[in-house]
Amino acid sequence: MNLNGVNRIETDDLWGKARVAQAAPTTDDVTVLEESVPFGDEQIRAGCVQSGDVQAVILQSRKGATPAVPLHQAVILQGQLLG
């Protein structure tokens, strides 16, 4: 995934724990990414959910660091809607 203004994006390490804690479906069709340090004025997090031929991309950004929990919740809910 290439995003304008993002130098490097990597897998969100907290997603594995959040997925288990929230009883989210264990599927390879979900990817959660975060902009790695150093980032500019704002950090971007992204979640990708694949269901059949539909792919949802959820982007969240915030000045300073972006909290992980709101994106994790959005990814879980979107996965439930598409699943």
25-51 confidence digits (pLDDT tens): 555 688 999 998 888 888 999 999 998
> Considering its fold, how many domains does the chain have in total?
1
The DSSP-derived string for 63-80 is EBPPPHHHHHHHHHHHHH
* 7 pLDDT higher than 90: no
Residue 73 within any structural domain of the chain: yes
Coil/strand/helix, residue 29: coil
Please give the Cα distance from 51 to 67 (Å, whole number): 25
The pLDDT of residue 3: 77
Residue 2 within any structural domain of the chain: no
Identify the helix (H) or strand (E) that includes residue 31.
Answer: strand 30-35
Give the confidence band of 58 by pLDDT, cuts at 50, 70, 90.
very high
Output DSSP code: residue 9.
E
Residue 36 within any structural domain of the chain: yes
Residue 32 within any structural domain of the chain: yes
For 61, the domain range is 9-82
Give the confidence band of 4 by pLDDT, cuts at 50, 70, 90.
confident
